[in-house]
């Protein structure tokens, strides 16, 4: 039993689901290459394998459900490729069923035998899945009412989506014996390590392009006293650099304006005035006319693409002193090979620092050496850096709260 934040969340060790048909919510929502339409990161697929294998060893048949993208977005698509990737990592065929809760899906589920695994189609093809509502309301939705009678148990292994109160996350625990999967267990254990008073100083490395989200996170980290230092990169670093009165040049101001980040300058200044321990780059890598050069932060000509080598040296020294490191978001535009080096170096410095390290977010995870044999006692690779950060900040996690309900038959 996981006891956290006033919740008692049962795990696979607490609920007997052996030899039955189970429904398992996973999160294999993944970045998609806009040119090829192919999935570009596979970490979430590999993360869920341990839970599925455990269920198969217990004689279960397993139905997996997940989402991909949002309606209207370029990455909104079916889960056919996802089933193929899951099959490869699991070593067992994961059959793709091109239906969510209609007659075809229900007929296939009824005919399942022990040891079979199927993946239903994108949950967000069902409009009910996009609605935020209470567990009781979702329990009466068509999606939940059509699927739940065919299962003897439900497992939530989608920690990265559990900050949402969607039907697939909160509706089934009202009607079915339910518990957390191994991914959820690992994420909560990692959060406990971050919150441990023994693992200080805590250093958060925050980059990427989601400036508004990052500023809210920093505000929350300071309110809860969680961060001793915050090392910034990406557009977030540029906003803080401007807030300190440094002129980054017309081209970079235009980039920030197009990203909607200039309106957040006031919030960045407010955080700095309050004493927030934010570190900003002292130099940058810029691109000008297709050429890459390194410039000091005070004299920027060209479009900023990454932090520079002096910043990497400064940040590396701070990481070596840390007791806990949380990496969320890259320092530069890592989609371009010319601007991956700083993020890769800081990731390597973190892993070899001796600190407890959480690597969160798809971009940073994509830089990991998959064959490096990470020490899982000291390095946690999160399936959802955003959800983990929200959990640390004390935000509600409806998907976890639903698992703690007693009405699902949990002892």
Does 406 map to a domain? no
* 201 preceded by a cis bond (ω within 30 of 0): yes
For 257, other C-beta atoms within 10 Å of its C-beta total 11
pLDDT at 86: 98
- Looking at the fold, whether 175 and 219 belong to one and the same domain comes out as no
Residues of the chain with pLDDT under 70: 361-362, 369-373, 406-411
The number of residues in the chain equals 411
* The predicted structure's pLDDT at residue 365: 76
CATH number at residue 144: 3.40.50.1260
Co-location of 153 and 255 in the same domain: no
| Number of domains into which the chain is organized | 2
3-state secondary structure of 339: helix
Where would I find the H helices in 209-308?
211-223, 234-243, 250-258, 265-273
**Inter-residue contact 191 to 240 (CB < 8 Å):** no
Per-residue exposure over 52-91, b if at least 16 CB sit within 10 Å of its own CB, e if not? bbebbeeebbbbbbbbbbeeeeeeebebebbbebbbebbe
Q: Are residues 174 and 214 in the same domain?
A: no
Q: Is 187 contained in some domain?
A: no
**Interatomic CA distance for residues 175 and 364, integer angstroms:** 38
Tell whether 8 is covered by a domain: yes
Residue 369: predicted pLDDT: 65
In the sheet that holds 379-381, the strands lie side by side as: 278-279, 229-232, 202-206, 324-328, 356-360, 379-381
**CA torsion sign, 38 to 44 to 49 to 51?**
negative
Residue 372: what pLDDT? 54
pLDDT of residue 6: 86
What does the pLDDT look like over 258-285, one tens digit per residue? 999 999 999 999 999 999 999 999 999 9
In a domain, 403, yes or no: no
Residue 233 belongs to domain spanning: 196-392
Residue 408 is predicted with a pLDDT of 43
Same domain, 74 and 207: no
| Cβ-contact 217, 206 below 8 angstroms | yes
């Amino acid at each position: 039993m996981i006891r956290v934040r006033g919740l008692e969340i049962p795990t696979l060790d607490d609920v007997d689901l052996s030899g039955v048909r189970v429904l398992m919510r996973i999160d294999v929502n993944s970045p998609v290459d806009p040119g090829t339409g192919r999935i570009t990161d596979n970490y979430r697929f590999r993360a869920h394998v341990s839970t599925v294998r455990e269920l198969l060893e217990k004689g279960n048949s397993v139905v997996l459900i997940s989402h991909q993208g949002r309606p209207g977005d370029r990455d909104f698509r079916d889960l056919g490729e996802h089933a193929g990737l899951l099959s490869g990592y699991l070593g067992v065929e994961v059959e793709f069923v091109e239906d969510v809760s209609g007659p075809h899906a229900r007929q296939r589920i009824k005919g399942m035998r022990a040891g079979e695994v199927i993946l239903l189609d994108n949950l967000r093809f069902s409009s009910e899945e996009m609605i935020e509502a209470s567990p009781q309301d979702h329990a009466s939705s068509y999606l939940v009412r059509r699927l739940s009678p065919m299962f003897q148990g439900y497992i939530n292994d989608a920690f990265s989506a559990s900050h949402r109160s969607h039907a697939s996350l909160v509706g089934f625990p009202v009607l079915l014996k339910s518990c957390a999967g191994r991914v959820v267990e690992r994420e909560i254990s990692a959060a406990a390590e971050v919150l441990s008073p023994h693992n200080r100083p805590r250093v958060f490395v925050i980059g990427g392009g989601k400036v508004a989200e990052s500023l809210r996170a920093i505000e929350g980290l300071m309110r809860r006293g969680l961060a001793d230092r915050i090392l910034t990169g990406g557009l977030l670093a540029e906003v803080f650099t401007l807030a300190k009165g440094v002129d980054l040049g017309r081209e970079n101001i235009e980039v920030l304006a197009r990203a909607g980040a200039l309106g957040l300058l006031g919030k960045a200044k407010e955080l700095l005035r309050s004493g927030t321990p934010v570190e900003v780059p002292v130099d940058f890598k810029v691109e000008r006319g297709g050429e890459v050069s390194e410039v000091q932060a005070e004299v920027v000509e060209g479009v900023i693409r990454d932090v520079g080598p002096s910043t990497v040296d400064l940040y590396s020294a701070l990481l070596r002193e840390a007791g806990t490191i949380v990496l969320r978001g890259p320092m530069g535009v890592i989609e371009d090979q010319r601007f991956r080096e700083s993020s890769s170096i800081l990731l390597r410095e973190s892993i070899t620092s001796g600190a407890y390290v959480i690597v969160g977010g798809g971009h940073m995870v994509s830089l990991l050496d998959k064959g490096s044999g990470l020490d899982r006692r000291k390095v946690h690779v999160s399936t959802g850096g955003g959800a983990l950060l929200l959990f640390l900040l004390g935000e509600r996690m409806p998907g976890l709260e639903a698992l703690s309900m007693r009405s699902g038959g949990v002892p």
